[in-house]
């Protein structure tokens, strides 16, 4: 109760200030639109079921209670330790933030109150210790038992080097808003958990070599430190993640073992006087043969650990509870979610303080009025310069009058009115990528048809699609611009409408070529770059002076890409931005004034443990801008999802969500982590690490 009063007080104190802030001066200087793999379809909410072995009543769908309100995406919940409040992460209002809800009573009669928005309030009262940036990922909230301190992850402060995670653990004193960073500078922390007394926090930290660059390559160790100030930080457990406290000296965590399976482990912690903390014993709780991860324990449920599992024979991630009180190999398992919703992924369980409920997040499913937004407004770090949107599609690009957006639907190519008024047409049904509108000829879109990520010799053709003047599909005409059977892709037209730059594998390497925009190769072609490497993803600047592209020429075939620029006449080659050794920086697109590039990169590494998220190939992909002289790198997006394929239009869209008249067909179509092998012995996962 005291805690909720504190939150309310805080809200009352800062609410008027927040509301009275003047509207930002909005200059009409452009819109950036990008895609986030699958995110528009997630529609996560937090649900709870009784934490008891199955009975006919507890396994019926009616026993499941939804704890969040069906707005935006709500995930990674946690209960306040001594009240009925639910803490959770939500992306409502264009930025990831932490919220609290009173939990409705199990009978379902409890009316939900307004969400109390914790961190925006905290951000309005910045800590005297930190320059606070409200646009950041905020994740994994925990409260101390007195309810006064919120401990969480934030990406508000840049890492000290490229390709290092910005995620760090912070402690905000809710009544005052005073915020303290608990993670040392130069270090990242994920998945913090506050001990039952509140004195200690455990977190998963990747060492300097803790991230290998692929999604599954994150290795963390578990550190324990004082919740109040981060002091006495001690390496407690090597090779572990997602810690959770069963009591003041018992931690559970997950680890991907050398046999390839994720398993849940128990560690007894000892506090050795002033020397810090050590793990006195570590034992594996779940056997090989299935994956068990993201454990949750609670002092209110002694002897029980909730976990998410992937078992052979099931395509879905489910919540199970392990009764570890038997000790030894005598652990008993009971299923929580499979009997209730067998064909849905369930993520990241947590247990109520009274031990009566286990909660988790999953798609809220159809029937809740879900309709993916066409354009979801994301808070822009420079709202007076550009607005920022996520689109439900890949490779978006605006027509040059700003009225229409073309995008790739994986598969298929679509156009839709940018203002949400409809006009959605499927232009192509097969595999096509990317999209780029001709500057002079209205309704002409360049794309390439064929498989993505294919070899130099795989046939991919650059085509021009002409939409015609009416909304009648019969008026669509297609012209093939490349004539060979090599891999020709990523067309981008010159602003004078005369040329198209594209990449081709015709020499045996992917290099850039320029051809006639109307007649294609038949009208003339010349080679722009040459060398035994890959130049790709080219974009012609609106002032015509530059072509930006992505290349691995600094380490051919090494998998690392940086952004380069070259004049269309082949002079002036230079590297603009490179993430770090081995890093990836892709999909450059010029700003309307040709002075800045927007791109996607692993520059900020991963922002959460990848196993805690659904399917993403590159969850380290965030959207950045950079001046074309390589200065002024700015991070635009902060989340643990895969953001990519940005484009930039001079047309300014007001920073508000844009819906669409169409109703979504299916919701929640996505896979679990694609790298999680389940049906065979998953030893391939560990190649190169243990052998």
Residue 594 interacting with ligand NAG (CB under 6 A):
no
Q: CB-wise, 498 or 567, nearer to ligand NAG?
A: 567
- The correct pick among 56, 107, 109, 569 for binding ligand NAG (CB under 6 A) is 569
Using CB under 6 A, count the residues that bind ligand NAG: 8
Compute the least distance from the CB of residue 519 to ligand NAG, in Å: 24
Compute the least distance from the CB of residue 38 to ligand NAG, in Å: 23
Q: CB-wise, 92 or 575, nearer to ligand NAG?
A: 92
Residue 45 interacting with ligand NAG (CB under 6 A):
no
Q: What is the dihedral of CA 222, 226, 230, 231, to 10 degrees?
A: -100
- The correct pick among 93, 228, 234, 452 for binding ligand NAG (CB under 6 A) is 93
Tell me whether the omega of the peptide bond preceding residue 567 falls within 30 degrees of 0, making it cis: no
Residue 545 interacting with ligand NAG (CB under 6 A):
yes
Q: Please, which residues bridge with residue 172 across strands? A: 150, 179
Q: CB-wise, 281 or 569, nearer to ligand NAG?
A: 569
Q: Report how far residue 315's alpha carbon sits from residue 587's, in angstroms, rounded to the nearest whole number.
A: 33
Compute the least distance from the CB of residue 499 to ligand NAG, in Å: 13
Q: CB-wise, 406 or 528, nearer to ligand NAG?
A: 528
Binders of ligand NAG in range 250-309 (CB under 6 A): none
Compute the least distance from the CB of residue 85 to ligand NAG, in Å: 15
Enumerate residues 6+ apart whose C-beta is below 8 A from 44. Answer: 73, 74, 75, 347, 361, 362, 363, 364
Compute the least distance from the CB of residue 368 to ligand NAG, in Å: 17
3-state SS, one letter per residue, for 293-335: EEEECCCCCCCEEEEEEECCCCCCCEEEEEECCCCCCCCEEEE
Segment near ligand NAG (CB under 6 A); pick from 149-157, 356-364, 504-512, 563-571: 563-571
**Kind of pairing, strands 394-398 and 387-391?**
unpaired
Compute the least distance from the CB of residue 92 to ligand NAG, in Å: 5
Helix (H/G/I), strand (E/B), else coil: 483? coil
Compute the least distance from the CB of residue 20 to ligand NAG, in Å: 12
Q: CB-wise, 1 or 21, nearer to ligand NAG?
A: 21
Segment near ligand NAG (CB under 6 A); pick from 401-409, 564-572, 580-588, 668-676: 564-572
Q: What is the end-to-end Cα distance of the chain in Å, rounded?
A: 54
Q: CB-wise, 572 or 684, nearer to ligand NAG?
A: 572
Q: CB-wise, 267 or 658, nearer to ligand NAG?
A: 658
Tell me whether the omega of the peptide bond preceding residue 434 falls within 30 degrees of 0, making it cis: yes
Phi and psi (nearest 5°) for 141? -75, 140
- The correct pick among 4, 66, 92, 615 for binding ligand NAG (CB under 6 A) is 92
Q: What is the dihedral of CA 175, 177, 180, 183, to 10 degrees?
A: 100
Helix (H/G/I), strand (E/B), else coil: 275? helix
Q: Report how far residue 463's alpha carbon sits from residue 276's, in angstroms, rounded to the nearest whole number.
A: 64
Q: CB-wise, 230 or 655, nearer to ligand NAG?
A: 655
Compute the least distance from the CB of residue 116 to ligand NAG, in Å: 9
Compute the least distance from the CB of residue 159 to ligand NAG, in Å: 28
Among 543, 479, 549, residue whose Cα is nearest residue 512 = 549
Compute the least distance from the CB of residue 585 to ligand NAG, in Å: 23
Task: State the DSSP code for 103.
Answer: P
Compute the least distance from the CB of residue 105 to ligand NAG, in Å: 22
For the chain, give the longest Cα–Cα distance: 80
In angstroms, the Cα distances linking 93 to 33, 379, 595 are 16, 8, 29
Among 202, 183, 311, residue whose Cα is nearest residue 250 = 202
Binders of ligand NAG in range 104-133 (CB under 6 A): 115, 117
Q: CB-wise, 117 or 392, nearer to ligand NAG?
A: 117
Task: State the DSSP code for 619.
Answer: T
3-state SS, one letter per residue, for 192-260: EEECCCCCEEEEEEEEEEEECCCHHHEEEEEEEEECCCCCCCEEEECCCEEEEEEECCEEEEEEECCCC
Segment near ligand NAG (CB under 6 A); pick from 180-188, 332-340, 534-542, 567-575: 567-575
Segment near ligand NAG (CB under 6 A); pick from 35-43, 255-263, 565-573, 584-592: 565-573
Structure tokens at 68: 């969040």
Q: CB-wise, 192 or 655, nearer to ligand NAG?
A: 655
Residue 571 interacting with ligand NAG (CB under 6 A):
yes
Q: CB-wise, 528 or 563, nearer to ligand NAG?
A: 528
Residue 567 interacting with ligand NAG (CB under 6 A):
yes
Burial 187-206 (b: 16+ CB within 10 A, else e): bbbbbbbbbbebebbbbbbb
Residue 547 interacting with ligand NAG (CB under 6 A):
no
Q: CB-wise, 232 or 567, nearer to ligand NAG?
A: 567
Structure tokens at 208: 């300097």
Footprint on this chain of ligand NAG (rule: CB under 6 A) = 92-93, 115, 117, 545, 567, 569, 571
């Amino acid at each position: 109760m005291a805690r909720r009063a504190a939150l309310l007080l805080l809200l009352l104190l800062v609410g008027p200030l927040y509301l009275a802030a003047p509207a930002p001066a909005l200059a009409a200087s452009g819109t950036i639109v990008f895609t986030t793999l699958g995110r528009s379809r997630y529609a996560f909410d937090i649900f709870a079921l009784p934490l008891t072995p199955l009975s006919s009543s507890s396994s019926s769908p009616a026993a499941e209670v939804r704890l969040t309100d069906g707005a935006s995406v709500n995930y990674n919940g946690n209960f306040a330790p001594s009240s009925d409040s639910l803490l959770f992460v939500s992306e409502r209002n264009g930025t990831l933030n932490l919220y609290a809800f009173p939990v409705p009573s199990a009978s379902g009669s409890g009316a939900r109150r307004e969400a109390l928005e914790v961190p925006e309030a905290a951000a309005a009262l910045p800590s005297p210790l930190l320059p606070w940036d409200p646009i950041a990922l905020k994740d994994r909230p925990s409260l101390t038992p007195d309810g006064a301190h919120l401990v969480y992850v934030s990406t508000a402060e840049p890492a000290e080097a490229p390709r290092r995670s910005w995620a760090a653990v912070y402690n905000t004193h809710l009544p005052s808003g005073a915020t303290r960073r608990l993670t040392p500078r130069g270090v990242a922390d994920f998945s913090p958990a506050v001990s039952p007394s509140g004195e200690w926090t455990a977190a998963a930290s990747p060492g300097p070599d803790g991230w290998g660059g692929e999604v599954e390559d994150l290795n963390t160790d578990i550190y324990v430190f004082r919740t109040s100030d981060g002091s006495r930080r001690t390496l407690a457990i090597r090779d572990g993640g997602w810690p959770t406290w069963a009591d003041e000296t018992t931690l559970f965590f997950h680890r991907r073992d050398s046999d390839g399976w994720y398993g849940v482990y128990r560690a007894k912690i000892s506090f050795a006087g002033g020397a810090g903390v050590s793990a006195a014993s570590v034992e594996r709780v779940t056997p090989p043969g299935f994956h068990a991860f993201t454990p949750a324990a609670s002092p209110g449920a002694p002897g029980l650990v909730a976990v998410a599992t992937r078992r052979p024979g099931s395509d879905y991630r489910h919540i199970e509870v392990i009764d570890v009180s038997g000790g030894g190999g005598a652990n008993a398992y009971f299923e929580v979610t499979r009997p209730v919703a067998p064909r849905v992924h369930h993520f990241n369980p947590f247990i109520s303080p009274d031990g009566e409920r286990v909660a988790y997040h999953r798609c809220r499913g159809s029937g809740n009025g879900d309709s993916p937004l066409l354009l979801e407004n994301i808070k822009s770090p420079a709202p007076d310069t550009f607005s920022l949107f996520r689109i439900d599609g890949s490779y978006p690009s605006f027509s040059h009058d700003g009225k229409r957006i073309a995008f790739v639907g994986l598969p298929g190519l679509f156009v839709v009115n940018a203002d949400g008024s409809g006009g959605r047409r499927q232009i192509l049904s097969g595999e096509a990528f990317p999209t780029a509108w001709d500057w002079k000829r209205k309704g002409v879109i360049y794309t390439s048809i064929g498989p993505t990520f294919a070899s130099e010799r795989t046939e991919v053709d650059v085509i021009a699609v002409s939409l015609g003047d009416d909304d009648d599909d019969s008026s669509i005409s297609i012209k093939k611009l490349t004539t060979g059977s090599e891999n020709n892709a990523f067309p981008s037209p010159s602003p004078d409408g005369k040329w198209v730059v594209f990449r081709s594998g015709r020499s045996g390497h992917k290099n850039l070529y320029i051809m006639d925009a109307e007649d294609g190769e038949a009208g003339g072609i010349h080679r722009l770059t040459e060398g035994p490497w890959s130049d790709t993803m080219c974009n012609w600047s609106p002032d015509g002076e530059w072509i930006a592209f992505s290349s691995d020429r600094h380490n051919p075939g090494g998998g690392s890409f940086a952004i380069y620029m070259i004049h269309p006449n082949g002079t002036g080659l230079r590297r603009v931005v490179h993430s770090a050794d081995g890093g990836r920086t892709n999909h450059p697109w010029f700003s309307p004034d040709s002075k800045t590039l927007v791109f996607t990169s692993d520059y900020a590494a991963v922002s959460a443990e990848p196993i805690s998220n659904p399917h993403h190939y590159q969850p380290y992909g965030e959207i950045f801008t950079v001046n074309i002289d390589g200065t002024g790198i700015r991070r635009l997006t902060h989340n643990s999802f895969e953001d990519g394929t940005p484009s930039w239009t001079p047309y300014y869209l007001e920073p508000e969500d844009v819906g669409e008249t169409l109703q979504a067909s299916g919701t929640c179509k996505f896979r679990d982590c694609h790298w999680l092998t389940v049906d065979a012995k998953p030893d391939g996962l560990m190649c190169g690490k243990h052998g």
